């Protein structure tokens, strides 16, 4: 319902004076991310401009003049009343007056570059201009992966270049087919800067593999589970879960067990069990079990802080806020922002806090009764019937066998995504996706979901005005010790499912997972290393 309404709101009907434009941004001096954030804020503050969507953030090798630092690039989609020449003046004002760019020479280093790439008038017609100070579409866009890759996250795959009348996506695939390392991009997820002052990012690299599908080739991230709940400490002593020194010992153990084989480790701290039908700890109890621990970890100078990424597993916005203030980098919310109406407004205030957007149906007590995905094509299951291509869906990966199943999950996740990005203004660069194994899914559905990880990455729907896709969004899978494994190997004791979990983790990586969430760090650290060696041609 909301989706359709917002579509009408942003749909620039002929009478409205709203044009659509796509601007490419780039920076390769000093704190590049800070320049990007400032430029976006200045665009959004302009009364004649409204930011509709911002792409992922990428790092790219300098093109043309190579003897300079790598660039941070992306694309922003805006509504604007300004004609192209006035929009150009705003971009130049932001570059030179507001952000004090000093242009040394063409293609040289810059604090910020804002280029108009594409412009559509209020009848959705592309504008073509060829004047000395302004050429639209940008004359060099079709040779630049650092423009095309972020751009195709924001436009339907069928959108044609206004002059050549060829799909813009086809130019990107053509560049990639030449396999020039200089054209490859790192997808970055910005994280808070620690005392060391070094900028921190999660980094992912995708390549088009032999079967013409885009696959992640960079190392898988390992997320170790540090639950501080009564049922979480294996030694059975009741109050151990509250013993901070014991928890810190476990953090040191995780570090020792992972950093010999991996560059960093994500530690997911959970103070409130989210097992189906589990009793939910009161919020004060959840705070008591987690926030002091985060402080102590961040204050522990014997830990390699730059290699430790902290995540809090909570669906409560108050806990998330306190965890961010205590030094956490990632909010891991199994509810996709549906359990606490303030979650997205908290996360949207921190541009460099990552957010794991998970799929679920219902709540902890009802989700298990909502796990029927058979023969529901996503659109029929939604309230809005498909009338025009507004809700047209694409799956780039034609090979995915059960389209309907993954389209249903994809469609439902795209509604959470729209709520986060379209309504609450989180930025796409913050988002990690998690289809939620075991959450409103039982038995075989979980196995099918793991098999379809790749197809989920290619899910997209919508049109030029309102387009949602999951391209370049990392996917986290959390299969560790779960009931669907226990069911298949007939093992009721969760702690005896680690060997089978290793097998599943390897398969998750083979099917496209970028982050895996596991209990047994020591064994899975080796398993993940092996799976990367087997499945990722980095």
Please state, in angstroms and rounded to a whole number, the distance separating the CA atoms of residues 426 and 430.
7
Q: Please, which residue, 18 or 152, has the CB nearer to ligand PMM?
A: 152
Q: Considering the complex, what minimum distance in angstroms separates the CB of residue 268 from ligand PMM?
A: 7
Please state, in angstroms and rounded to a whole number, the distance separating the CA atoms of residues 335 and 337.
5
Q: Residues 202, 498, 246, CA angle at the centre, nearest 5°?
A: 70
Question: C-alpha dihedral over 57, 59, 64, 67, to 10 degrees?
Answer: 140
The number of beta carbons lying within 10 Å of the beta carbon of residue 10 is 17
Residue among 28, 289, 20 at smallest CA distance from 162: 20
* Contact assessment for residue 221 and residue 259, using Cβ atoms and an 8 Å cutoff: no
Q: Considering the complex, what minimum distance in angstroms separates the CB of residue 106 from ligand PMM?
A: 7
Question: C-alpha dihedral over 210, 212, 215, 218, to 10 degrees?
Answer: 50
The two tokens of residue 313 are: 């597993």
Q: Please, which residue, 297 or 437, has the CB nearer to ligand PMM?
A: 437
Q: Please, which residue, 329 or 466, has the CB nearer to ligand PMM?
A: 329
Where helices occur in 452-520 by DSSP H, the ranges are 453-457, 483-489, 498-510
Please state, in angstroms and rounded to a whole number, the distance separating the CA atoms of residues 115 and 91.
7
Residue tagged 């790439």 (tokens): 117
Q: Please, which residue, 232 or 408, has the CB nearer to ligand PMM?
A: 232
Q: Considering the complex, what minimum distance in angstroms separates the CB of residue 18 from ligand PMM?
A: 26
Q: Please, which residue, 461 or 517, has the CB nearer to ligand PMM?
A: 517
Q: Considering the complex, what minimum distance in angstroms separates the CB of residue 36 from ligand PMM?
A: 11
Q: Considering the complex, what minimum distance in angstroms separates the CB of residue 164 from ligand PMM?
A: 19
Radius of gyration of the chain (CA): 23
Please state, in angstroms and rounded to a whole number, the distance separating the CA atoms of residues 111 and 99.
7
Q: Please, which residue, 115 or 498, has the CB nearer to ligand PMM?
A: 115
Q: Please, which residue, 13 or 66, has the CB nearer to ligand PMM?
A: 66
Which residues are within 8 A (CB) of 104 and not within 5 positions of it... i.e. 6 or more apart? none
Contact residues: ligand PMM, CB under 6 A = 26, 60-64, 71, 73, 107, 113, 115, 140, 146, 225, 227, 273-275, 313, 332, 334, 356, 358, 434, 436-437, 476, 478, 481, 517
Q: Considering the complex, what minimum distance in angstroms separates the CB of residue 232 from ligand PMM?
A: 8
Q: Considering the complex, what minimum distance in angstroms separates the CB of residue 200 from ligand PMM?
A: 20
Q: Considering the complex, what minimum distance in angstroms separates the CB of residue 103 from ligand PMM?
A: 9
At how many degrees (to 10) do helices 317-326 and 283-299 cross? 20
Please state, in angstroms and rounded to a whole number, the distance separating the CA atoms of residues 79 and 11.
10
Q: Please, which residue, 219 or 435, has the CB nearer to ligand PMM?
A: 435
Q: Considering the complex, what minimum distance in angstroms separates the CB of residue 27 from ligand PMM?
A: 8
Residue tagged 């910020």 (tokens): 112
* Contact assessment for residue 322 and residue 315, using Cβ atoms and an 8 Å cutoff: no
* Contact assessment for residue 471 and residue 172, using Cβ atoms and an 8 Å cutoff: no
Q: Considering the complex, what minimum distance in angstroms separates the CB of residue 101 from ligand PMM?
A: 11
Q: Please, which residue, 36 or 213, has the CB nearer to ligand PMM?
A: 36
Which residues are within 8 A (CB) of 112 and not within 5 positions of it... i.e. 6 or more apart? 25, 26, 27, 35, 36, 38, 39, 94, 95, 99, 101
Residues counted in the chain: 538
Q: Considering the complex, what minimum distance in angstroms separates the CB of residue 274 from ligand PMM?
A: 5
Q: Please, which residue, 156 or 435, has the CB nearer to ligand PMM?
A: 435
Please state, in angstroms and rounded to a whole number, the distance separating the CA atoms of residues 23 and 53.
11
Q: Please, which residue, 7 or 227, has the CB nearer to ligand PMM?
A: 227
Q: Considering the complex, what minimum distance in angstroms separates the CB of residue 288 from ligand PMM?
A: 19
Q: Please, which residue, 11 or 69, has the CB nearer to ligand PMM?
A: 69
């Amino acid at each position: 319902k909301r989706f359709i309404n917002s579509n009408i709101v942003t749909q620039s009907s002929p009478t409205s004076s709203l044009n659509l434009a796509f601007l490419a941004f780039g920076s390769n001096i000093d704190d590049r991310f800070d320049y990007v954030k400032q430029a976006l804020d200045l665009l959004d503050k302009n009364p004649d401009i409204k930011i509709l969507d911002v792409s992922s953030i990428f790092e790219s090798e300098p093109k043309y003049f190579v003897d300079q630092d790598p660039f941070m690039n992306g694309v922003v989609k805006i509504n604007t009343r300004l004609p192209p020449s006035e929009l150009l003046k705003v971009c130049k004002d932001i570059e030179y007056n507001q952000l004090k760019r000093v242009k040394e020479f063409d293609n040289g280093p810059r604090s910020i570059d804002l280029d108009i790439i594409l412009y559509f008038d209020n009848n959705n017609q592309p504008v073509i201009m060829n004047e000395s100070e302004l050429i639209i579409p940008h004359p060099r866009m079709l040779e630049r992966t650092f423009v095309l890759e972020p751009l195709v996250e924001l436009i339907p795959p069928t959108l044609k270049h206004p002059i050549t009348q060829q799909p813009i996506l086809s130019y990107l695939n053509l560049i990639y087919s030449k396999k020039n390392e200089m054209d490859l991009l790192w997808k970055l997820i910005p994280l808070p800067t620690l005392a060391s002052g070094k900028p921190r990012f999660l980094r992912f690299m995708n390549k088009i593999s032999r079967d013409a599908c885009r696959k992640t080739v960079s190392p898988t991230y390992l997320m170790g589970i540090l639950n501080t709940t009564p049922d979480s400490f294996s030694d059975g002593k009741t109050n151990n879960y509250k013993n901070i020194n014991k928890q810190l010992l476990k953090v040191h153990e995780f570090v020792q067990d992972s950093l010999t084989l991996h560059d960093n480790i994500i530690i997911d701290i959970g103070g409130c069990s989210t097992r189906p039908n589990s009793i939910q700890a009161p919020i004060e109890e959840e705070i008591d079990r987690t926030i002091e621990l985060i402080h102590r970890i961040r204050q522990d100078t014997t830990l390699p802080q730059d290699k430790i990424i902290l995540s809090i597993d909570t669906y409560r916005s108050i806990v998330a806020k306190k965890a961010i203030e205590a030094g956490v980098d990632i909010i891991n919310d199994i509810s996709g922002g549906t359990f606490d109406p303030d979650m997205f407004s908290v996360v949207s205030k921190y541009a460099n806090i990552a957010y794991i957007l998970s799929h679920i149906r219902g709540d902890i007590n009802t989700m298990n009764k909502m796990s029927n995905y058979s023969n529901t094509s996503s659109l029929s299951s939604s309230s809005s019937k498909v009338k025009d291509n507004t809700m047209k869906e694409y799956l780039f990966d034609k090979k995915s066998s059960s389209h309907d199943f993954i389209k249903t999950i994809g469609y439902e996740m795209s509604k959470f995504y729209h709520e986060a990005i379209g309504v609450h203004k989180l930025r796409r660069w913050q988002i990690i996706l998690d289809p939620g194994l075991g959450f409103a899914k039982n038995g075989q559905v979980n196995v099918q979901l793991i098999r379809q990880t790749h197809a989920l990455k290619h899910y997209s729907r919508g049109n030029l005005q309102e387009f949602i896709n999951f391209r370049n969004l990392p996917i986290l899978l959390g299969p560790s010790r779960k009931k669907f494994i226990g069911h298949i190997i007939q093992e009721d004791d969760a702690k005896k499912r680690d060997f089978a979990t290793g097998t599943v983790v390897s398969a998750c990586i083979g099917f496209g997972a970028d982050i895996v969430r596991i209990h047994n760090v020591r064994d899975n650290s080796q398993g993940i290393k092996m799976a990367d060696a087997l499945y990722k041609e980095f």
